[in-house]
Amino acid sequence: RIKKRYGCAIISMVDKAEEMDVAGADKQVRKIPRRYIAEIIQPRCEELTELIKREIENSSRLEPGLSGVILTGGASLLAGLDRLMEANLGLSVRIGMPDGIESSCASNSPLFQSNVNNPMYSTGIGLILHGTDGEPVPNPELLGRINGDVFNGIFDRMKEWVRNLFGVNGHELRGKTASMRQRI
C-alpha cells in the first residue's frame, strides 16, 4: 500500500520536506520522509529497466525497428516510472489502458467503465476480448463478473501451485508468508 500511495520511481520528483504517516509492526504511527520510499524504489526500477533493456537488445537482433514500450499492469501507475524507463531505454514509453471496452459492451455503464479502465486490467481485458473474438459482450456487468472470476481463478490456481510446490496447506503458507514479511 505504501508503494501504491506514496511511491515514486524518480527520487528528484519527491519534495524533500514531504512526509507520510506509516504504522510500524508495533502499530505505532511514525512520520517518514516520502523521499525515503523513492530512494528504495528507484534503484529497483532501474534494475528492472536494465533487464528490459537487455531483452529489447536481444530481441531487436531478431526483429529490428522497435519504436516504443507500452507499460501495463498495476506497477505502470507508479509515479515517474514511465519517465525513468524512457530516459534509461532511449525509447518512447507510455502507459497502456484497456482498449476496445466501449465497442465491446452493449451498454456503456459509467460505473463499469471507471472500474475497468485501468492499466492493471489491460491483460485480463485483452484476454477476454480475444476470447470473444471482438464480438460485443451483451452485459457489461457480466464482463465485470467474468473479469473477477478469471482473476480469482488464476489466483486460486497460483496458490494451489505454490502449495503443491512447497507441500504446505493454506494455513502453513500464510504463516510462512507472515514470517517472511517480518524478516523483511
Question: For residue 143, what are the CA distances in angstroms to 31, 100, 101, 114, 121?
Answer: 42, 13, 10, 13, 12
DSSP class of residue 93 equals E
For the chain, give the percent of residues with pLDDT over 70.
Answer: 61
Mean pLDDT (whole number) for 128-151: 59
Res. 45: pLDDT tops 70:
yes
73 and 105 assigned to the same domain: no
86 and 172 assigned to the same domain: no
Mean pLDDT (whole number) for 23-31: 90
For residue 86, the model assigns a pLDDT of 95
Look-up: residue for cell 473477477? 148
For residue 121, the model assigns a pLDDT of 78
Look-up: residue for cell 519517465? 83
Q: What is the C-alpha to C-alpha distance for residues 26 and 24, in angstroms, rounded to an integer? A: 5
Q: Are strands 19-23 and 29-33 parallel, antiparallel or unpaired?
A: antiparallel
List the grid coordinates of 53. Answer: 533493456
Total domain count, the chain: 2
Q: Which of 65, 96, 127 is the last residue of a domain?
A: 96
Quote the pTM value.
0.62
91 and 131 assigned to the same domain: no
Q: Which of 67, 74, 111 is nearest to 93 (CA)?
A: 67
53 and 109 assigned to the same domain: no
106 and 85 assigned to the same domain: no
Q: Which of 47, 63, 96 is the last residue of a domain?
A: 96
For the chain, give the percent of residues with pLDDT over 90.
Answer: 34
Q: What CATH number did the domain enclosing 4 receive?
A: 3.30.420.40
57 and 124 assigned to the same domain: no
- Domain enclosing residue 131, as ranges: 98-184
For residue 136, the model assigns a pLDDT of 59
1 and 92 assigned to the same domain: yes
For residue 25, the model assigns a pLDDT of 86
75 and 120 assigned to the same domain: no
Q: Which of 43, 62, 96 is the last residue of a domain?
A: 96
